[in-house]
Amino acid sequence: MQVRLTTIAALLIAFAPCAAAKPMRFAPKTDARGFIDVWRLRRDVARAESHYYAAISPCEYRFTGHSGETKAEERAYERCRKHFDRLKAVSERVDAAFNRAWRPVILRSMQLGDPIAEVIMRNCDTTPVLDRHDIGATCDTDSDKRNAAIARLRSIGFMPAVPNHTRSLVPFFVPSKVLQNAPRAFTVDLRYLNNGFDNFSQAFEALAKLRLNRQPLTPGYLTFGPESYYRGGSKLWDPAIGIADHRKEWASTFNALDTAMDKWLRRDPRWAVFLLHRIGHYEWVPEGMTTTTGRLNSVWLGRWKLIAQTPDWNQPLQPVKGRAVIRYRHGGMVINTVAATALMVFPDVSNCTLRYSGGVTYVPDPGRTQYTALAGYTGKYADKVLAELDPSKRYKQVLMQCKGAESDDTDRARFLLHARNYMIEIGSLSGDPNHVAARVYRRVH
């Protein structure tokens, strides 16, 4: 048996609160036209889906059924199965309550000519908790009904709702990697960055499909400027050119996409329920939501003395005078830097926004000397640069986002790591792991 008793116990504990869920009540709302309040629907869908996904049992998947299991393991499996059966029953009650409240309202809105209600009802990607049993939809088992639903969605004209479409709103093909560079989108396919990590797959899929229930998303591992990720591959459509040239090349495409999105938003602002906004190079945030990546721990606050730097960590660190100040601003944190000896990769910046990337450093492998806390990014003096990092710990990456740091018009990578009373700044003009600049700061107060 693959799953051990401790794993079963952990599953039971993790989902125990869901089993005792109180009855849910839903209160649909419409506007003067009788069209649905999509923001309230999105909130209620998220509530219902929390039970839907919690009830997906891992017991059968992890239990091999091979001979030789112990009686204790068999009993643990039975407890797991019964527990998730209870969660499924809770989910079914929540789904029933949700559909009793919302389904007739959505159907009535469709009859009144609400195109957004029709997209939500006919496109099964929008949510799995809506009852579509007698409505032609994209997940209908009857091919005629399914094709009729797709034809109806196509006639509405909102192309991100049409299955197997390029997901753009313009009448020409826009590759998904190009769409990732747009400042906003209705869908964006980042699943190739997921690398099979189970804890990210559902969130990545939600952005790639026209889901109502989405959450702000970062890839969850170290970034190095706009061009590359560790394990993620190139973000650029054509990695042979820089991000600035790439922007110029696709400017007309982005303008066309913006124009098309504005058209739909002017027609009905409720289409924004599907809108995604890009922050930095890779973070995406749904309309009407806030992200927590800018809420840094207070240990970052204060004055920092610049004590050493190198333009390339294949060269030794050299003493240098300078300072950095990190303070609160507009609900987040910003950094100001000044150095007596400037480096091209590290120009002085003012009020530069700081945000967590969602990634953390790696624990170095003693058997692979070419790997550091930044994984494959290394240099002859990398150990000196990263000396203040405890090799047994992982440290959160904090991106610097502003002119002179990471921004849309440059290939520059620039980020910070914090270790006790030291702060390490890492940068590169081109995102090239073979040419990494570094600075070391010590806290003043």
307-324, pLDDT tens digit by residue?
A: 999 999 999 999 999 999
Which is more confidently placed, 101 or 179?
Answer: 101
- Which residues, in sequence order, are CB contacts of 350 under 8 Å at separation 6+? 336
**Least confident window among 139-153, 167-181, 431-445:** 167-181
Interhelix angle 71-111/38-54, nearest 10 degrees: 160
What is the value of pTM for the model shown? 0.86
Percent of the chain at pLDDT exceeding 70? 82
pLDDT beyond 70 at 7: no
Percent of the chain at pLDDT exceeding 90? 57
Residue 396 CB neighbours (<10 A): 17
Helix (H, G, I), strand (E, B) or coil at 173: coil
Average pLDDT, the chain: 85
pLDDT beyond 90 at 68: no
Residue 43 CB neighbours (<10 A): 14
pLDDT tens for each residue of 321-365? 999 999 999 989 999 999 999 899 999 999 999 999 998 998 877
Helix (H, G, I), strand (E, B) or coil at 261: helix
**Least confident window among 172-181, 240-249, 267-276, 382-391:** 240-249
Question: What pLDDT is stored for residue 155 in this prediction?
Answer: 95
Residue 55 to residue 81: CA distance in whole angstroms: 11
Contact 159, 168 (CB under 8 A): yes
Place of tokens 């005629």: 144
Question: What pLDDT is stored for residue 20 in this prediction?
Answer: 44
pLDDT beyond 60 at 196: no
Residue 182 to residue 260: CA distance in whole angstroms: 13
At residue 46, φ and ψ (nearest 5 deg) are -60, -40
Handedness of CA 429, 433, 436, 439 (dihedral sign): positive
Helix (H, G, I), strand (E, B) or coil at 248: helix
Helix (H, G, I), strand (E, B) or coil at 263: helix
| Cα atoms in the Cβ-side hemisphere of radius 13 Å centred on 46 | 14
Residue 153 to residue 236: CA distance in whole angstroms: 31
Structural tokens at position 182: 């747009």
Question: What pLDDT is stored for residue 17 in this prediction?
Answer: 45
pLDDT beyond 60 at 157: yes
Q: Which amino acid is at 278?
A: R
Question: What pLDDT is stored for residue 66 in this prediction?
Answer: 47
Residue 217 β-bridge partners: 284
Q: In 3D, which of 160, 212, 154 has the Cα closest to residue 185?
A: 160
Contact 27, 98 (CB under 8 A): no
Residue 6 to residue 186: CA distance in whole angstroms: 42
- Alpha carbon dihedral 195, 196, 197, 200, in 10-degree steps, equals 90
Residue 354 β-bridge partners: 333, 400
Residue 20 CB neighbours (<10 A): 8
For the residues 15-19, what does the mean pLDDT come to? Answer: 45
Which whole-number Å values give the CA distances from 444 to 152, 180, 422, in the listed order?
64, 40, 10
Contact 26, 97 (CB under 8 A): yes
Q: In 3D, which of 319, 323, 294 has the Cα closest to residue 400?
A: 294
At residue 31, φ and ψ (nearest 5 deg) are -95, -170
Handedness of CA 32, 37, 39, 44 (dihedral sign): positive
Runs of H (alpha helix) within 194-275: 198-208, 243-249, 251-267
pLDDT beyond 90 at 10: no
pLDDT tens for each residue of 205-253? 888 899 999 999 987 888 888 765 433 444 444 555 666 677 777 788 8
pLDDT beyond 70 at 161: yes
Residue 170 to residue 254: CA distance in whole angstroms: 10
At residue 434, φ and ψ (nearest 5 deg) are -85, -10
Question: What pLDDT is stored for residue 190 in this prediction?
Answer: 75
Binned at pLDDT 50, 70 and 90, residue 282 comes out as: confident
Which range, 64-68, 187-191, 312-316, has the best average confidence (pLDDT)? 312-316
Binned at pLDDT 50, 70 and 90, residue 387 comes out as: very high
pLDDT beyond 80 at 168: no
Residue 364 to residue 373: CA distance in whole angstroms: 5
